Amino acid sequence: MSKLRVCVIFGGRSGEHEISLRSARSVLQALDPDRYTALPVGITHDGRWFAGPDPLGALEKRTTEGLYPVTFPSQPGRRELIPLGAGGRGDDLSFDLAFPVLHGTYGEDGTIQGLFEMADVPYVGAGVLGSSVGMDKVLFKLVMQRRGLPVVEGEVVFRSQILRDAEAALRIAEKVSGYPLFVKPGNLGSSVGVSKCRNHSSLCEGLMDAARYDRRVLVERGLEARELEVSVLGNEDAQASLVGEVVPSDEFYSYRAKYLDDTSELRIPAPIEPPVSDEIRRLAVECFKAIDGAGMARVDFLLERSTGKLYINEINTLPGFTSISMYPKLWMATGLTYSSLVTRLIELALERQAEKDALLRVYGGAG
Ligand SMILES: Nc1ncnc2c1ncn2[C@@H]1O[C@H](COP(=O)(O)OP(=O)(O)O)[C@@H](O)[C@H]1O
Ligand SMILES: [Mg+2]
């Protein structure tokens, strides 16, 4: 049997470019060489796609030396990268499926998934809708509420409102609850633009800061909470892993705590009572289904210390995927090796494509 060619895509235009490179390094190492051949493709910070002998090594050095520019086909049937210049003409640029190892904007938000749909290429992870609802904190909250799933109270304030009449925006924000309040851009990640605000003036600063990143800003009641995370794997039959806990090194799980100092602690499994972890696992699968998730996701919870109440904070449809990231580590603790996890994700992508292929796409007397 010939090996499947997996187009592993990394880098990208988001603030999580470097994390993506680290995740991709782990995925490429773990691809089962008996079953798969990798076709690695790097996207630069400014959005150009490159193939060649070692795109990952090059992007890690912030160069495209030795690589050649390619583009992804947008029409169905042509499953091969298209060289844009003279480079790569003799290379085998064909692939059978795409594995986007991209986090955040243009990778996890449904945009690149739209490209895969246009090209009719099977791909790992959630589809356009699941990705975009999972990424968008405002829509996500509405969907959870509609499904009766627990989320923290919040309100949306628009950037235009904040810029036009900051005091009016502050009044809307302060209606959410007493302080502390959390302010975040509606559609970002990695805690960029997220702040914990303890009073009117810090709320004003928080709103201004978040509005630098997004048209919509979400304001939430700030909880004093433990942070619990669980990994989901599957399509419609999705399962949840053991539960893990993050103990942030900062006051909350900020950008600094995530990436700049390495002292945040991951506890696997989380020291919590079995009924709590059962409930988290159940809610995680419900959440995954509610957004029409596929393949994988990590669902993050807040467990309020004073009340013991669980809240779904967010879902990440392309979670950090290095071998020391929470998503694979939770599966490893549950009994799945990193490599078999990668294999399973590829199988799930193919299963989903097979299901799509079985659908009628031409209606009535179209001729
Ligand atoms: N309502 C809240 N109450 C308490 N802490 C919060 C709240 N919202 C966010 N946080 C803290 O901020 C961090 C980042 O917020 P999150 O919504 O997860 O955004 P991101 O998508 O950037 O990770 C969380 O991990 C948590 O530490
Ligand atoms: Mg988060």
Cβ–ligand 1 distance for 179 under 6 Å, the answer no
Q: Is 207 helix (H, G, I), strand (E, B) or coil?
A: helix
Task: Using a pLDDT cut of 70, give the percent of the chain over it.
Answer: 99
First and final C-alpha spacing in the chain: 38
> What is the atom index within ligand 1 of the atom nearest the CA of 253?
27
pLDDT > 60? residue 220: yes
Geometric angle at alpha carbon 140, from 310 and 157, rounded to 5°: 100
pLDDT digits over 2-35, tens only? Answer: 899 999 999 999 988 999 999 999 999 999 999 9
> Hey, CA dihedral for 328, 334, 340, 343, is it positive or negative?
negative
Whether the CB-CB separation of 102 and 310 falls below 8 Å is answered with: no
Whether the CB-CB separation of 42 and 54 falls below 8 Å is answered with: no
- 153-221, CATH topology level: Dna Ligase; domain 1 (3.30.1490)
Look up the CATH number of domain 4-123. Answer: 3.40.50.20
Mean of pLDDT values over 237-264: 88
Mean of pLDDT values over 144-160: 97
Mean of pLDDT values over 46-62: 97
Cβ–ligand 1 distance for 253 under 6 Å, the answer yes
pLDDT > 70? residue 366: no
pLDDT > 70? residue 51: yes
Nearest Cα to Cα of residue 312 among 274, 277, 281, 283: 283
Nearest CA owner, ligand 1 atom 14: 191
Q: Which residues contact 154 (CB under 8 A, 6 or more apart)?
A: 141, 176, 218, 219, 220, 221
Nearest CA owner, ligand 1 atom 24: 253
pLDDT > 90? residue 259: no
Ligand nearest to the CA of 108: 1
d(CA 224, CA 302): 9
pLDDT digits over 310-345, tens only? Answer: 999 999 999 999 988 999 999 999 999 999 999 999
pLDDT > 60? residue 154: yes
- Distance between Cα 189 and ligand 1 center (Å): 9
Quote the mean pLDDT of the chain.
Answer: 95
pLDDT-derived band of residue 264, with 50, 70 and 90 as boundaries?
confident
Is 3.30.470.20 the CATH number for 142-148+224-355? yes
Residue ranges of E strands in the chain: 4-11, 36-43, 49-51, 68-71, 82-83, 97-100, 154-158, 181-185, 195-197, 216-221, 225-234, 239-247, 265-267, 295-304, 310-316
d(CA 51, CA 40): 7
Boundaries of every domain in the chain: 4-123, 142-148+224-355, 153-221
Question: Which pLDDT does position 190 carry in this prediction?
Answer: 83
Task: Find the DSSP H helices in 66-198.
Answer: 111-119, 128-135, 137-146, 159-164, 166-174
Q: Which residues contact 304 (CB under 8 A, 6 or more apart)?
A: 223, 224, 225, 310, 311
Question: Which pLDDT does position 251 carry in this prediction?
Answer: 85
Question: Which pLDDT does position 55 carry in this prediction?
Answer: 98
pLDDT digits over 112-145, tens only? Answer: 999 999 999 999 999 999 999 999 999 999 999 9
- Distance between Cα 174 and ligand 2 center (Å): 23
